[in-house]
């Protein structure tokens, strides 16, 4: 039976199912849904928990073996199957179908956490068999039109009240990233007394003070073509001890977004429509920055920048001699239309100014 994440606690309170499938790519709601299942299991007296992380070459026989093993300490257990971004494949599909057949006489609870399930997968034999005996929780990103309302309700979980316009500003500041927005709400809850009502000014001041030179500031500076500001932010991030992989992730994400925008524009779509296709959707206030970047960075140049990012990723993993922070500085500066510190060095990933 399908239930949405906000309905899950109530559904679990009525009856603890034999299986719960949490599927989707939005991390905050995904985490909350899994936490709700764990809490319901504890409250129902389930004391034992076993976790199976699906990785490359995972043996699906382990699932059936773990399910059939009797516990010496408890009559039932919570069995978590974590797929992450891994696909089931034929072996996984068969194993889950077999599990559905054998779980009729068991009191165990199976929690499956996985990526998004499309319509075809929801028609598969394994899914139908498990869905009959449990709950399916699809986790979808919150639509931009509902984001302000969602954040307003979320603030109440942290003991805060927040105006709708303030909630919308928080959504814009965190670019629709629910996990980042929730972290900001947690920080604000530490600063303000319980039941404080926050307005636009409170959000603007609180979020700005807590972020300082964060990766989102860096992304904005790169998109808007502000080399001097970009250089200051990169140096600020380094001095504050921000991990290099986080900076690389933020820059790589913007490069992929810009490439996607280019592709939609090449197909004859309008810029506004192209922005709406992105996940998360590009907010109105950020669209001018993307438009500037699109006009400045060609498809060819973006591909070369992504190649540069891949070399830096190898450096993060210790598989490349490229100096990491100078390389990140060069990548960000090139995105912003400026010159890197190592422009005169014969880098293997160096980008010609004419491309």
- Quickly state the pLDDT bin for 355 (edges 50, 70, 90): very low
Beta strands in the chain (DSSP E): 19-24, 48-53, 77-84, 109-114, 134-139, 161-162, 197-198
Is domain 147-211 in CATH 1.10.630.10, yes or no?
no
Query: What confidence score (pLDDT) does residue 74 get?
Result: 53
Is residue 336 within 8 Å of 230, Cβ to Cβ?
A: yes
Q: Are 181 and 146 in contact (CB under 8 A)?
A: no
Asked if 81 and 63 touch (Cβ cutoff 8 Å), the reply is yes
Give the position of tokens 């004391």. 47
Q: Which pair of structure tokens corresponds to residue 90? A: 């034929």
Which pLDDT score is estimated for 252? 93
Whether 5-139 shares its CATH topology with 215-335 is answered: no
DSSP E strand stretches across 240-306:
none
* Predicted pLDDT of residue 340: 62
Q: How far is CA 88 from the centre of its chain?
A: 21
64-104 pLDDT, tens digit per residue, is 888 877 655 556 889 999 998 788 889 999 999 999 988 76
- For the segment 197-224, the average pLDDT, to the nearest whole number, is 77
Cis before residue 280, ω within 30 degrees of 0? yes
Domain ranges across the chain: 5-139, 147-211, 215-335
| Topology given in CATH for the domain delimited by 215-335 | Zinc Finger, Delta Prime; domain 3 (1.20.272)
Fold of 5-139: Rossmann fold (3.40.50)
Q: In a 3-state reduction of DSSP, which class is residue 242?
A: coil
Q: Please tell me whether the overall predicted TM-score, pTM, comes out greater than 0.75 for this model.
A: no
């Amino acid at each position: 039976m399908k239930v949405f994440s906000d309905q899950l606690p109530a559904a679990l309170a009525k009856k603890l199912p034999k299986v719960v499938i949490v599927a989707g790519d939005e991390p905050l709601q995904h985490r909350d849904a899994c936490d709700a299942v764990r809490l319901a299991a504890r409250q129902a007296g389930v004391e034992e928990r076993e976790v199976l992380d699906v990785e490359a070459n995972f043996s699906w026989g382990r699932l059936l073996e773990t399910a059939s093993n009797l516990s010496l300490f408890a009559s039932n257990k919570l069995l978590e199957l974590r797929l992450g971004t891994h696909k089931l494949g034929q072996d996984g599909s068969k194993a889950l179908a077999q599990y559905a057949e054998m779980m009729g006489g068991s009191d165990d609870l199976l929690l499956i956490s996985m990526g998004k399930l499309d319509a075809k997968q929801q028609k598969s034999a394994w899914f139908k068999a498990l869905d009959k005996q449990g709950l399916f929780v699809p986790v979808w990103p919150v639509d931009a039109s509902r984001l302000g309302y969602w954040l307003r309700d979320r603030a109440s979980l942290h003991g805060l009240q927040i105006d709708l316009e303030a909630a919308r500003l928080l959504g814009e500041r965190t670019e629709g990233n629910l996990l980042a927005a929730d972290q900001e709400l947690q920080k604000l809850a530490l600063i303000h007394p319980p039941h404080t009502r926050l307005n636009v000014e409170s959000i603007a001041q609180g979020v700005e003070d807590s972020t300082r030179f964060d990766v989102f500031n860096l992304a904005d500076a790169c998109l808007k073509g502000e080399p001097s500001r970009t250089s200051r932010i990169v140096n600020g991030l380094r001095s504050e001890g921000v991990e290099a992989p986080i900076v690389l992730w933020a820059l790589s994400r913007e490069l992929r977004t810009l490439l996607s925008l280019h592709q939609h524009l090449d197909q004859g779509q309008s810029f506004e429509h192209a922005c709406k296709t992105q996940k998360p959707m590009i907010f109105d206030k950020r669209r001018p920055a993307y438009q500037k970047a699109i006009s400045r960075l060609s498809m060819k140049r973006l591909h070369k920048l992504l190649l540069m990012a891949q070399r830096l990723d190898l450096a993060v993993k210790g598989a490349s001699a490229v100096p990491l922070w100078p390389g990140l500085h060069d990548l960000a500066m090139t995105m912003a239309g400026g010159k890197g510190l190592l422009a005169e060095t014969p880098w293997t990933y160096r980008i010609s100014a004419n491309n």
